[in-house]
Structure 1
C-alpha cells in the first residue's frame, strides 16, 4: 500500500507545490496567461489558495515520511478533493468549459485518499 500511495501522492504533491508556489510569488500579470480566473479574484485570495496548496502538498509528503501525525496525509488528500470541486465550479461559472485538468486532479486526489488511510 505504501508504494501505491507514493505513486499517486508524489506527483500530486509536486503539482500542488509548484502551482501553489507560483500563486504565492507571481504577480497577477504573470499568472494571467496560465490562470484567467485571477482577473476576477482578489490577489489576497489567489495568494491564500497558493498557500493552501503548498501546505497541502507538504501534508501529503512529510507526515508519512516522518511518522508524525500521519492522519494529515488523509486530510490533505480530502482537502485537495474539496479544492478541485471548488475550482471546477469557478471555471464552469465563468463559462470556461476547460476543466479536464481539474477533473484529473480531483480523481488523483480521490484515489490518494484510500492508500492514505494506511497510516491511521
Structure 2
C-alpha cells in the first residue's frame, strides 16, 4: 500500500510541477496555444502565475512532508485539496466550452 501511495503522490507531483512550471515560465500566448489552455487569454497574467506557484506548492506538499518526516498528515490533506482544485478546473473548463 505504501508503494502505491508513493507512486500516486509522485505522479500527481510531476503533473503539478509540469503545469506550474509552464504557467510560471511560458508567456500567455504560448500557453493559449496548448490544447485546453485557451482560458488563459481571458485572465490576467498575474492570475496565471499565481496558479503556477500554487501548483508548485502542491507538488512540494505531496512529497516533502512524508519524505522529510515533517507532519506527514499534510500529504493526504494536500492530495484532497489537489483533487478539489482539479474538480474546480473541470467545472471552469466545461463552463468555458
TM > 0.5 fold call: yes
List gaps (5 residues or longer) in structure 1.
96-120
Give matches, 1:76-95, under 5 Å.
76-95=78-97
CA distance in 2 between partners of 1:5 and 1:78 (Å): 13
Over the aligned positions, Cα root-mean-square deviation in angstroms equals 1.0
In the superposition, the TM-score normalised over structure 2's length comes to 0.91
- The number of aligned residues is 95
1:18 paired residue number: 18
CA distance in 2 between partners of 1:14 and 1:67 (Å): 20
1:51 paired residue number: 53
Deviations 1:4-59 (Å, cap 9, x if unpaired)?
11121111101111111110121101111121110111111111111111100111
In the superposition, the TM-score normalised over structure 1's length comes to 0.75
- 2:25 pairs with 1:29: no
1:117 paired residue number: none
